[in-house]
Amino acid sequence: MPPFPAAGRVYLVGAGPGDPELLTLRAVRLLQQAEVIVYDHLVSSAVLEFVSPAAERIYAGKRRNEHTMRQEQINALLIKLATEGKQVVRLKGGDPFIFGRGGEELQALAAHGVAFEVVPGVTAASGVASYAGIPLTHRDYAQSCLFVTGHLKDGTAGLDWPNLVRPHQTVVIYMGLGGLPEICRQMMAHGAAPTRPIAVVQDGSIATQKVVTGTLADMPERVAQAGLKSPCLTIIGEVVKLHHSLAWFKPLLLHTVR
């Protein structure tokens, strides 16, 4: 990797879904050489092991209704560090451009003339689905795939329900655990069969991964019985049927509810 520039710079880096083996080579090199790491709640402890012991670590995590820093504070922090001449890695779970607010942060940096670079990561949809043995597309089941967020900027979940219930597609919902009963209810109300398969995956790609499968009609009860907690990813569509035959990943504490 070429030497860092003399002026400060922010590297927006995707940490992937949790398994450190899924980090890109570029991400690992930056973690080992950066002066400051600003990281989120969804970044796994195993990924942080690549960070240089000399680097300053700043936690800027966000959980549901619990923010260590507001987004505006994070933006201001990144600008401050870079203008001080620091080489900063802004580390985000998954891919920073897929429901990671990476675009918002880069807009703030660009407005202040701060140099930046983007290092993509494996997004949760593809990484978690792969570790759960659920192909997002399949010629027999799904010819398209939609990524949606379970809550919007204003805190609502006013999704495009008629589009989400179309057949022959897979719907992946990020951050949808809290609204799962309403998601299932709305999809059935807009024409999806109560028997449409659905999976909820907790801690995808790491040793504590749990996979719960069911249908739109019974999934809220199954998830409650399993005691799933965030972070979770929801996958809806006929491809979920393939989980039980294609689930190759055997974590230390695997619990698959059938």
Determine the Cα–Cα distance for residues 27 and 117; give it in Å rounded to an integer: 11
Residues identified as active-site = 40, 62
Is residue 130's pLDDT more than 60? yes
Determine the Cα–Cα distance for residues 188 and 39; give it in Å rounded to an integer: 38
Region(s) of the chain under CATH 3.30.950.10 = 124-257
Is residue 245's pLDDT more than 80? yes
- Other Cβ atoms closer than 10 A to 230: 15
Determine the Cα–Cα distance for residues 24 and 29; give it in Å rounded to an integer: 9
Distances (CA, A) of 27 to 9, 127, 202, 215: 15, 16, 24, 38
Q: How confident is the model at residue 256 (pLDDT cuts 50, 70, 90)?
A: very low
Fold of domain 9-119: Cobalt-precorrin-4 Transmethylase; domain 1 (3.40.1010)
Region(s) of the chain under CATH 3.40.1010.10 = 9-119
Percent residues over pLDDT 70 in the chain? 90
CATH-assigned architecture of domain 124-257: 2-Layer Sandwich (3.30)
